Chains A and B, each alone.
Chain A
Amino acid sequence: MKSSVSRIVIVVIVLVGLGAGLLWGPLATPANTLPPLRIGTQLSEASTPLFVAEELGFFAQNGLNVTIPSYAMGEQAIAAAEAGELDVAMTTEYPLVVAAFGNRSVSAIACIDKAQTASVIGRRDRGIATVADLRGKRVGVTRRTTAEFYLGRVLDLNGMNIRDVTVVDVPRPQNVEAVVNGSVDAVVTATREVVPITARLGGDATVFSAQSDQPAYVLLVCDRAWITAHTRETDQLLKALAMANEYILANPADARAIAGRRANLSEETMAALWPNHRFGLSLDRSLPIAMTDEARWVIANCLTNATTVPNLRDYIDTTALARVDPYAVTIL
């Protein structure tokens, strides 16, 4: 009798131990066995999930040893990824559309943010008070960035097109200086530049939204071959970012502080920009619609030699996100 009870107790203890192991095993920190992961990003508030994941150790918890070099433009980051200098490039969707026209071998694995980040800042002393006043003016834009499309779309919706203005290719971060020193009459730039530009222009700045209610999709883009060869890295990366997003939702002030410090943005600026962002992993149907729309715009405005829209679905790889968060993928 006594020995049978002892056996039962031992079996119960063993089962409880196994159950605890099964329960806690997946939550335990995996061994840091993955090779270093390089994520090229921009020093902006849109990079908040990456900064939070790095600073709070979510990457490390998922076995990732991440470095985050910064690039001025998404296009540069995509090029670096193609060249093997980066594993992951953070960019908005328009550079990916441009890349598609170049038939480049890259794909977005996730959208990490939907943002309203672009503004048009015009100089009043150059006669710019409304969008219509842009006609015939010199407008600074960083070519092959979303700003180029936004400018075109704003002009389209106001009865003009991109040929009705003089587009001046001003790479970042010189675009700020260009409008301030008057080499351009207006500039399409990130909203985070509005405050410093208007401050320097005094009362001569006119600001209006550049995005026409269409969000900018902040994407993580990788070389396709790399994606195929690094499923574990992509999965762990997305898991780490999911953890970062949960932290951002639960602790927005702390997340803002982290991102502001990393992007060199003041607390006030971060607080002003914060409502323009929706951090979260997704690949929903609106993305290919927006990209296709932009591709058509590129063709219509003769910014490419192509005459047909490329199959942009090929530039969105949903497999990794579908593994990590199936409900975040609605693209057909």
Chain B
Amino acid sequence: MKIRTQLILGAALFGIVLLVLAASVITTTAELGRLDRQVALADRIGNGANDLNYLANEYLLYGEPQQMERWEARYASLGDDLANLSAGTPGQEALVTAIAEDRLRLKSVFDGIAAERGPGSPLDPAALQVSWSRLGVQTQGLAYDASRLSVLLREEGDGVKSLNALLVAALLGAFAVVLFVNYVVVGRHTLQSISTVLDGTAAIGRGDLGHTIAVTGDDEVAELSRAFNRMTADLRTVTASRAELEREMVERQRAEVALKEYAENLQRSNEDLERFAYVSSHDLQEPLRSIVSFSQLLDRRYRGKLDADADEYLDFIVEGGNRMQALILDLLAYSRVNTTRQAFSPTDTADVLASVERSLDARLREAGAAIAHDPMPVVLADPLQLEQVFANLISNALKFRRPDERPRIHIGVRTADGFCEFSVADNGIGIAPEYFDRIFVIFQRLHTRETYSGTGIGLAIVKRIVERHGGRIWVESTPGEGSTFYFTLPTV
């Protein structure tokens, strides 16, 4: 049973007990009042009997009319009292009947005596004695019956009081028993349940999430116990998840550390490689330059003096030396992206673009190209490298133009998320999608040297410069329609 229900039932029981007690007190008071009035009537009748005895004897002695009148008046008032008597039990009823009969017999006796006595004719002593005795028998019998009725009424009153006391005691006793039983059966159970819950909370507080509180009954404490058990189960799940999370975090941290070490190693390796490329390309220039110079000198002095194969071999040597020199220069340029870099500074891309247009002016005019551009922003960049980027992309647009089409180049600008997105769009030959990544790889070419000159280093350098600035570069293109190179740079 719910504790709330127990409390409601307890309050209802208390209210009922109070109501019954109040009703009992009210009815008892009313009944006792009625009985008190009846007792008073019975006592008055008893006194009236003695009064009538006295008045009758007075009349017997003196025979005066006033005694007769007083007797009659008292007799009448006794009749009034008798009329107001009410019997509640067979015993009382018998006595009320007896009193009524006693009264009539007394009247009969008195009337007989009064007739014999008469005014002014005194009775002889013997007759007086007889009359006195006869009146005594009647009045004392009447007084006895009245006193007996009074006793019975008082006893009934005592009975009512006792019954009321018994009822009150029984109700209080029953209430006490209910309270006691409630304490023993329910209260102790509840207290024990609460104690169990307290022990359980203490165990859970100590970290024993495996502890389960025993659930007995169906009261609020049982609900609390069940809620605690559910909470403990949830805590166990959450704690398990947390452990996994912590384990995962540790693994990630380890991975991050490993990755960081790997990146550092890679960076170191890359720097070593760059340093090697730079040093080797730089150091290779001098002997290569000697090779090329002496092969050119050999070509100039001995061309036509040796046989035809020798001339062809000289051509091969000169051409290979020149290509190797170009490759080494390109490789050196690629290396210098990071080795000869300048600090970033606010750079007006309009100035950069103008400088590029000036340097490419002859090729632009030769190709009849038209360059258009959006309003150019100021970005945080290395201006010389930024010039390389624009020069390279525009050169490519001129190089890979369609033969039957005047090149049209448009440089677009869009700003978002702290970056400026530049686009260099042309109407050239375009690039097949499968080559979108390959074109940014160093020395990767999509065409033969005979078709389009170059070493294939340009876009690799552009990508390296953009990435050095924290941006990225990509291409969108449709073969035969043109290409658009996009790259981002941080705004100022």
Chain A residues near B (Cβ < 8 Å)? 5, 114, 153, 156-157, 212-215, 246, 249-250, 278, 280, 282, 284-286, 289-290, 292-293, 296-297, 300, 327-328, 330
- Find B130's partner among A278, A284, A293 (CB 8 Å cutoff): A293
**Nearest CB of chain B from residue A256's CB, rounded to whole Å:** 14
Residues of B within 8 A of A300 (CB): 126
Is the Cβ of B144 less than 8 Å from the Cβ of A284? yes
Which residue of the partner chain, among B112, B129, B134, B144, contacts A282 with CB atoms under 8 Å?
A: B144
CB distance from A128 to the nearest CB of B (A): 21
B82-107 at interface with A (beta carbon < 8 Å): 89-91, 93-94, 98, 105
* Inter-chain contact B129/A213, CB cutoff 8 Å: no
Question: Contact mask B100-130 → A, CB, 8 Å, 1/0?
Answer: 0000010011001000000000000010011
Residue of B whose beta carbon sits closest to that of A282: B144
Contacts A278-B98, A293-B129 known; 14 new A-B pairs at CB < 8 A: A157-B112, A213-B134, A214-B138, A215-B141, A249-B94, A250-B90, A278-B94, A284-B140, A284-B144, A285-B136, A289-B136, A290-B137, A292-B133, A293-B133
Residues B25-75 near A (CB distance < 8 A): none
Report the separation of the CA atoms of residues A114 and B151 in the bound assembly, to the nearest whole angstrom.
Answer: 19
Given the known inter-chain contacts A285-B140, A286-B144, please indicate yes or no for A296 contacting B133, CB distance below 8 A: yes
User: What B residues does A213 contact at CB under 8 A?
Assistant: 105, 108-109, 134, 138
Sorted nearest first, the 5 A-B pairs with minimum C-beta distance are A293-B133, A284-B144, A286-B140, A249-B90, A289-B136
- Please name all residues of chain A whose beta carbon is closer than 8 Å to the beta carbon of B93 when the two chains form the complex: 249
Instruction: Give B190 Cβ to nearest chain A Cβ, in Å.
Output: 14
Chain B contact patch, size range: 20 to 34
Asked if A289 and B140 make an inter-chain contact with CB atoms under 8 angstroms apart, the answer reads yes
Cα distance, A215 to B109, chains bound together (Å): 12
Closest chain B residue, CB of each to CB of A8: B180
| Residues from chain B with Cβ under 8 Å of A156 in the complex | 130
Residues of A within 8 A of B98 (CB): 278
Q: By the criterion CB–CB under 8 Å, are B151 and A327 in contact?
A: yes
Residues of chain B with a CB closer than 8 A to A327's CB: 147-148, 151
A289-B144 contact given A5-B184, A213-B105, A300-B126, CB 8 Å threshold: no
| Distance in Å: Cβ of B134 to nearest Cβ of chain A | 6
B411 at the interface (CB under 8 A from A): no
Q: Is B143 in contact with chain A by the CB < 8 A criterion?
A: yes
Question: How far does the alpha carbon of A213 sit from the alpha carbon of B130 in the complex, in Å?
Answer: 13
Within the complex, the shortest CB–CB distance from B103 to chain A, in Å, comes to 12
Shortest distance between the CB of A132 and any CB in chain B (Å): 15
Which residues in chain B, 128-164, are within 8 Å of chain A measured between CB atoms? 129-130, 133-134, 136-141, 143-144, 147-148, 151
Q: Which residues of the other chain, A, contact B94 by a CB distance below 8 angstroms?
A: 249, 278, 280
Whether B90 lies near A214 (C-beta < 8 A) is no
B residues near A (Cβ < 8 Å) are: 89-91, 93-94, 98, 105, 108-109, 112, 126, 129-130, 133-134, 136-141, 143-144, 147-148, 151, 184
A207–B229 CA distance with the chains assembled, in angstroms: 102
Chain A residues, CB < 8 A from B126: 296, 300
Complex contacts, B141 vs chain A, CB 8 Å: 114, 215, 284, 286
Q: A5-B184, A249-B94, A250-B90 are in contact. Are A330 and B137 (CB under 8 A)?
A: no
Q: How far is the CA of A212 from the CA of B109 in the complex (A)?
A: 8
Q: Evaluate contact between A289 and B137: CB separation under 8 angstroms.
A: yes
B151 touches A286 (CB 8 A): no
Which residues from chain A contact B138 at a C-beta distance below 8 Å? 213-214, 286
Most buried by A among B91, B112, B137: B137
Interfacial chain B residues near A285, Cβ < 8 Å? 136, 140, 143-144
Q: Which chain B residues lie closer than 8 Å to A282 at the CB level?
A: 144, 148
Determine if B140 and A212 form an interchain contact, defined as CB atoms under 8 angstroms apart: no
* Given A246-B91, A249-B90, A286-B141, A328-B148 contact (CB < 8 Å): yes
Chain A residues contacting B89 (CB-CB under 8 Å) are 249
Task: Verify A214–B134 contact, CB threshold 8 A.
Answer: yes
Closest to A16 in B: B173
Residues of B within 8 A of A290 (CB): 133, 137
Q: Which residue of A lies closest to B177 (CB)?
A: A12
Q: How many angstroms from the CA of A246 to the CA of B94 in the assembled complex?
A: 11
Residues from chain B with a CB closer than 8 A to the CB of A250 are 90
By a CB distance below 8 angstroms, the chain A residues around B130 are 153, 156, 293, 296-297
Name B154's closest neighbour in chain A (CB-CB).
Answer: A327
A292 to B136 alpha-carbon distance, docked (Å): 11
Complex-state Cα separation, A328 to B126, whole angstroms: 31
Instruction: Chain B residues near A292: list those with CB within 8 A.
Output: 133
CA A330 to CA B144, docked complex, whole Å: 7
Q: Say how far B98's CB is from chain A's closest CB, in angstroms.
A: 5
Alpha-carbon distance A65/B108, docked complex (angstroms): 44
CB contacts (< 8 Å) of A284 on chain B: these are 140-141, 143-144
What are 27 A-to-B residue pairs whose CB atoms are below 8 Å?
A: A5-B184, A114-B141, A153-B130, A212-B109, A215-B137, A215-B141, A249-B90, A249-B91, A249-B94, A278-B94, A280-B94, A280-B148, A282-B144, A284-B140, A284-B141, A284-B144, A285-B136, A285-B140, A285-B144, A286-B136, A286-B139, A289-B133, A289-B137, A289-B140, A293-B134, A297-B130, A328-B148
Contacts of B134 in A (CB 8 A): 212-214, 293
CB distance from B186 to the nearest CB of A (A): 14
Residue of B nearest to A9 (CB): B184
Measured CB to CB, the nearest residue on chain A to B129 is A296
Inter-chain contacts of B91 with A (CB < 8 A): 246, 249
Q: Which residues of A contact B148 (CB under 8 A)?
A: 280, 282, 327-328
